[in-house]
Structure 1
Amino acid sequence: MTQTTPNLRDIGGRPAADGRLVATGRVLRSAVPHPDDQHPDGHSWPPSLVIDLRSSTESRSSHPLEAAGSRVVNLPLLAALRPGVAPAESLAVLYRIVLDTAAPELVELVGEVSREPGTTLIHCAAGKDRTGIAIALLLRLVGVPRDEVLHDYRLTEHALAEIDRRLRPPASAAPPPVHTYPPGFAHVSPEALDAVLDVWDAHDDGVEGWFVAAGGSSAAIDQLRRTLLA
């Protein structure tokens, strides 16, 4: 039975800097899409750009949206959790690993989104943790308040059952890929994302200062705002 991609939503419509709103139709977020997913109503599909945040061990084939014409960029945010490395003990620890080890990928993600004239889809496996951090960074860089960022993150709670069905292989399937994603983290943790926001806000010049220290630039932030704000 076909279905739409789980946890798919537009991040647009949220209040941002200077009384402006995040534009709709610019950035979508979701769990991993499948080749036979039906086209979602109300969204530009296929997206022009797909940013896949999964590691190489999580996929054995080309991206399902490449055949549909999307440009796919892989920016793994959990490459540090390679086989043989002890898994994170909590989502809070997992999120901190992303900040500590994947800042260059987050900087590149901002650049890709800021330069894309069409619609961008950002996803990982569940569209919750790695995607949640990436979306939070985009939203904070364009001036979306913390409570709005956390509200967007919490919306994944309504999709957990669909995500579970998407990620659980059928009993008849071949052995699944060896995932680097730790098991037992199938819940939403606003506290974990709040700790990420604390790191950004505690930096000199806030999230913009963190982004520049990680290798980004003020020009990239300005371009992101021109791209994302209506």
Structure 2
Amino acid sequence: MTQGREGNAARWIDLEGVVNMRDVGGLPTRDGGRTAYGRLIRSDNLQDLTDASVTRLVGELGVTDIVDLRSETEMHLTGPGPLREIESLTHHHHSLVETRPTDDVAATMASALVVHPAAPGTRDADYWTAHYRTYLDRRGPAIADALAVIAGARGAAVVHCAAGKDRTGTVVALALDVAGVPHDVIADDYALTALRLPAIIERLMAHDFYGDTLATQRPSDQIPHAETMLAILADLGERHGGTRAWLRSRGWSGGDVEQLRTRLVD
């Protein structure tokens, strides 16, 4: 099951300062419903938003909560950003990057942008699946906390990392799974980022701390494949009984899970 071109086009949010922002509303659920617009927005880094973009994000789009999945190093190097000045916004930091006290900037950027020892051309769907599995195994509390923010947001919640692909893709996929979106539709949404990949890379390359890291890779190694997300969701089912059961193992009650589901559907 895939979304038509028209449906996907309506979900992209084009703001000056970001290149990979879209609403996850309008997706079908297994019970015949749809995910709601204006509840969950996924994005790349928000540091470069213009004043006009900030006004639209908060006013027209009704954003109240920002979930930042980046490392503390990334946040420090990019600065606070324009959204920190908006009093109506609540900021939440739940990093999916596991860092150690001995890590330098290069090591942190390599983890953030998923640069590990692998020959060019070997970063296929299986490679990314293995990497995303480490998010679940090592940063489970951060993922659960990010999902809790989405469930309790007063308005729209924006979840973002640097590119809006790997860390953001994982958190959003789990949210959509709880909402009852079929796995193939979730995987298609994840893979949509490929349409914006050239712009994402160009934007990140403008920053030395990302550019130096990306210079060691081929752009094709960063392409998101639907198979990757299908495998992650299947892995959750096989090892944990699915996303809802995984959240229950993290201390969520049945009511907590239902709150997230109802928050995301019409």
Q: Please point out which of 11, 30, 36 is paired with 2:43.
A: 30
User: How far off its partner does 1:214 sit?
Assistant: 2.9
The separation in 1 between residues aligned to 2:250 and 2:212, in whole angstroms, is 27
Q: What TM-score do you get using the length of structure 2 for normalisation?
A: 0.74
Map of 2:137 onto structure 1:
100
Instruction: Give the alignment partner of residue 147 of structure 2, picking from 96, 110, 113.
Output: 110
Q: How does 1:144-183 map to 2 (within 5 A)?
A: 144-169=181-206, 175-176=208-209
Q: Is the 8 A contact 2:68 2:92 kept in 1?
A: yes
> What 5-or-longer segments of structure 1 have no aligned partner?
none
Q: 1:15 aligned to 21, 28, 31, which one?
A: 28
Which residue of 1 is the match for residue 261 of structure 2? Answer: 225
| 1:3-48, Cα deviation, whole Å (9 max, x unpaired) | 2411110000111253221100111001101344352898644721
* Contact 2:22/2:41, CA 8 A, preserved across alignment: yes
Cα separation, 2, equivalents of 1:4 and 1:40:
10
Residue among 81, 93, 97 paired with 1:78: 97
Distance 1:93 1:203, change over 3 A: closer
Distance 1:149 1:131, change over 3 A: same
CA shift, 1:205, in A, is 3.8
- Cα deviation for residue 168 of structure 1 reads 0.9
Match of 2:53 among 29, 39, 42: 39
Deviations 1:137-192 (A, max 9, x none): 0000111000110111111011111111221126xxxx537999996353213232
1:213 aligns with 2:228: no
Q: 1:91–1:192: 8 Å Cα contact kept in structure 2?
A: yes
Q: Give the direction of change, closer, same or farther, for the CA distance of 1:182–1:168 in structure 2 (3 Å limit).
A: closer
* CA–CA separation in structure 2 for the residues paired with 1:208 and 1:179: 39
Q: How many residues align?
A: 225
Contact between 1:11 and 1:28, CA under 8 Å: does it hold in 2? yes
Contact in 2 for aligned 1:52/1:75 (Cα 8 Å) = yes
Q: Secondary structure of 2:180's partner?
A: coil
Partner of 2:53, secondary structure, is coil
* Consecutive unaligned residues in structure 2, runs of 5 or more: 1-14, 119-126
Contact 2:47–2:80 under 8 Å retained in 1 = no
TM-score normalised by length of structure 1: 0.85
Percentage of identical aligned residues: 29
Q: What one-letter code is carried by the residue in structure 2 that aligns with 1:67?
A: E
Distance 1:102 1:153 in 2: 20
1:48 aligned partner:
64
